[in-house]
Amino acid sequence: MTGTVPFWVKNALGHVFMPLPVVLVLFLAGLASSWACLKRPSRITLGLGFLILFALGLEPVADAVVYPLEHLYPSLDGVRLQVLRLHPPYWIVVLGNGHSDRQDVPALQLLNGTSLARLAEGLRLQRALPGSHLLLSGGSPLSGQAEAPVLEQAARELGANRNTLTIEDQSLDTADEARDVKLLVKDAPFVLVTSAVHMPRAMALFRHLGMKPIPAPTGFLGNPSAGLLDRYFPRSENLVVVQVALHEYLGLAFEYLTHQI
């Protein structure tokens, strides 16, 4: 349980208020109205569902939704990284995102794309910051194996020294991760690695606890393309971008209302 709301309740609500479930509800309402011979409500709900699905599948709409989240913090590179090398922090904290529980493949192949991008960025920064130590965070929100041990094994498969790896495997969500990471990092500055779209919420949660995270966003989703068809023809990947961004907006709203940020 996180705060006063059980994790499974938050997780369920986060899935319900996503574009695809909302559109499906509108379509079902339209069909029900049609069967009940209510032509006007049927047309309104079916038309609204179609317009929402069409609009959210467009790249300009997806980019507009995700842009405010992804452009608060720049990548940790160039001059910023050179300055950090002068006094490198001891900890680089990598937040997990998800993995498979299969037993027949290497750990690296168990990580989803988001977790893999975060781990790769953490390893890049560890090599760029001599003496740094990776803290890999992620529990088991929906049962099964905790993510942090999977991240650790994957890091070792990529050549990381096990003596420079520490895991935090009890957290259920980002708020939990902030509290659990603080027990290890305490008040020292540290590099925080997570997805660019997730960084504003993560930074707010960690800072709320008086911690000193240095943002290192990765896995940017907004990527305007030059092709006219790519930008103005609906695509499923744009729906995914919108869904991820809406999840973060809902998380920010929830954590603000529950005084966690």
Q: Could you tell me if 167 and 161 are in contact, meaning their C-beta atoms sit under 8 angstroms apart?
A: no
Alpha-carbon distances, residue 35 vs 30, 49, 140, 179 (angstroms): 9, 17, 44, 52
Q: Could you tell me if 213 and 206 are in contact, meaning their C-beta atoms sit under 8 angstroms apart?
A: yes
Residue 231 pLDDT? 80
Residue 7 pLDDT? 62
- Answer yes or no: is pLDDT of 237 > 80: yes
User: What does 85-112 look like in DSSP terms, one character per residue?
Assistant: HHS--SEEEEE---B---SSS-HHHHB-
Residue 248 pLDDT? 95
Phi, psi of 191 (to 5 degrees): -85, 130
Domains and CATH numbers, the chain: 7-69+229-257 (no CATH), 75-218 (3.40.50.620)
Among 231, 252, 206, which residue's Cα sits nearest to residue 95?
Answer: 206
Phi, psi of 26 (to 5 degrees): -65, -45
Please state the rounded mean pLDDT for residues 12-31. Answer: 82
Strand-by-strand arrangement of the 212-218 sheet: 165-168, 133-137, 91-95, 189-195, 212-218
Residue 14 pLDDT? 66
Token pair of 250 as six digits: 């809902």
Please state the rounded mean pLDDT for residues 169-174. Answer: 91
- Answer yes or no: is pLDDT of 1 > 60: no
pTM of the full structure: 0.89
128: Cβ–Cβ under 8 A, 6 or more apart, which residues?
81, 85
Among 251, 243, 190, which residue's Cα sits nearest to residue 52?
Answer: 243
Among 260, 134, 149, which residue's Cα sits nearest to residue 192?
Answer: 134
Mean pLDDT of the chain: 90
Residue 37 pLDDT? 78
Q: What is the pLDDT of residues 23-74, one digit of tens each?
A: 888 889 888 888 887 878 888 988 999 999 999 999 999 999 999 999 999 9
Q: Could you tell me if 137 and 168 are in contact, meaning their C-beta atoms sit under 8 angstroms apart?
A: yes
Q: How many CB atoms lie within 10 A of CB 192?
A: 29
Among 221, 218, 252, 258, which residue's Cα sits nearest to residue 238?
Answer: 221
Strands 189-195 and 212-218 turn out to be parallel
What amino acid is encoded at 136 in this protein?
L
Please state the rounded mean pLDDT for residues 118-128. Answer: 97
What amino acid is encoded at 74 in this protein?
P
Q: What is the pLDDT of residues 195-224, one digit of tens each?
A: 999 999 999 999 999 999 999 999 999 877
Residue 202 pLDDT? 98
Please tell me the distance from the alpha carbon of residue 95 to that of residue 217, in angstroms, as a whole number: 11
- Answer yes or no: is pLDDT of 152 > 60: yes
- Answer yes or no: is pLDDT of 4 > 70: no
Residue 140 pLDDT? 82
> Which stretch, 6-10, 179-183, 256-260, has highest mean pLDDT?
179-183
| pLDDT > 70 in the chain, percent | 92
pLDDT bin (cut points 50, 70, 90) of residue 3 is very low
Phi, psi of 193 (to 5 degrees): -110, 120
Half-sphere exposure of 252 (CA within 13 A, CB side): 16
